[in-house]
Amino acid sequence: MDFEQLVNGLCQLDTKKTVAVAEATNVETLKAIKEGVERELAAFKLFGNLEEIRQAADEIDLDLNQPQITLHHATSTENAVEKAVMSVSEERSDVLMKGNVATKIVLKAVLKKDSGLRNDRILSHVALFEIPGRENLLFLTDAGMNIAPTLEEKVQIIQNAVDVANRLGNDEPKVAPLAAVEIVNPAMQASVDAAVLSQMQKRGQITNCIVDGPLAFDNAISFDSKEEKKIESDVAGQADILVCPYIEVGNTLYKSFTYFAGAKVAGIISGAKAPIVLTSRADTAESKIYSLAFALSSS
């Protein structure tokens, strides 16, 4: 599967899912929505100051009178976010998308106990890459939320990513907890955690996947590297999900894939009651559409 197949699969659905867009008042956000409507990905509820939404829409010739778009006035940025989150919380929308608003304001509303999207798990970032020369899409977690996750948090991060992969059709993804080496070294906590995570999966504490580690990056994704190092593993050389020990590793791999390998990327926040799309101004329009498709497919 590639990203275009993901998009095309959504286009062919008879019933479209709905995206609640918090503070849909800027051109960058509306460009993604315009393409989403044109490609028949979903319906969109736009929350924000109606005058500002209309002004931004006029700049890109977005027709706001289309049946796939509904407008919902908000008196402030916080009010727009609260209304969008409530729309998802009450199951009137399927996905939450950040518009022209700071991420911390969105997360504050998401994590409210009574009206938010809080679940019993931590929130974690799940990225999906289409890398030139690689046949299958590759998941990477966590590159954007948890700085130095504990073992318990890593369990939840893995389960969040696995649940997303399951919804995309991979019933038993192969999960590689990364470390600098593929052997357990007590001086490297990442390698110790990886070994424990592998055992926890075997005991049924992590479900619907295969976890094996520690694995270094090369032998997690390269069959040749696995063979050269004579690693006996059901995951080595064919990992579907790479689990990073710290945010610096995830951030570096994320940017290396996009800048050096020319990968296409989509990203969502998982672990809440519904997927969250936190696009930024630096994201390309293509990346925003793929992130929308990723979120909709995993909702």
Identify whether residues 145 and 193 lie together within a single domain. yes
Compute φ and ψ for 149, nearest 5 degrees: -65, 145
Dist. CA 58–CA 54, nearest whole Å: 6
Chain centre distance of CA 211: 20
| pTM, two decimal places | 0.93
- Rounded Cα distance, 31 and 41, in Å: 14
Same domain assignment for residues 112 and 140? no
**Number of domains the chain contains:** 2
CATH number at 19 reads 3.40.50.10950
Question: Do residues 212 and 132 share a domain?
Answer: yes
Give me the average pLDDT of each 10-residue run along the chain (299 residues). 86 86 92 92 96 96 96 96 96 94 93 85 95 94 95 98 96 97 96 98 97 96 92 95 97 95 94 89 78 93
Range of the domain at 178: 124-264
Neighbours of 16 (CB within 10 A): 16
Alpha-carbon separation of residue 247 from 24, 128, 142, 154, 236 (angstroms): 29, 16, 6, 12, 22
Q: Do residues 128 and 199 both lie within one domain? A: yes
Residues 130, 259 within the same domain: yes
Q: Whole-angstrom Cα distance, residue 89 to residue 87? A: 6
Same domain, 160 and 142: yes
Q: CA end-to-end span of the chain, whole Å?
A: 18
For residues 140 and 3, what is the distance between their CA atoms, to the nearest angstrom? 15
CATH number at residue 145: 3.40.718.10
Residue 150 burial by Cβ neighbours in a 10 Å radius (0-12, 13-18, 19+): exposed
254 plus 197 within the same structural domain: yes
CA angle in degrees (0–180, nearest 5) for 259-194-232: 90
Residues 218, 260 within the same domain:
yes
Same domain, 153 and 256: yes
Indicate if the alpha-carbon torsion angle 18, 270, 290, 72 is positive or negative. Answer: positive
Q: Are residues 75 and 159 both part of a single domain?
A: no
Q: Strand (E) positions, 28-160? A: 43-48, 69-73, 95-98, 124-130, 138-141
Using CB atoms within 10 A of its CB, is residue 12 exposed (0-12), middle (13-18) or buried (19+)? Answer: exposed
| 86 and 139 together in one domain | no
Q: Are residues 92 and 206 in the same domain?
A: no
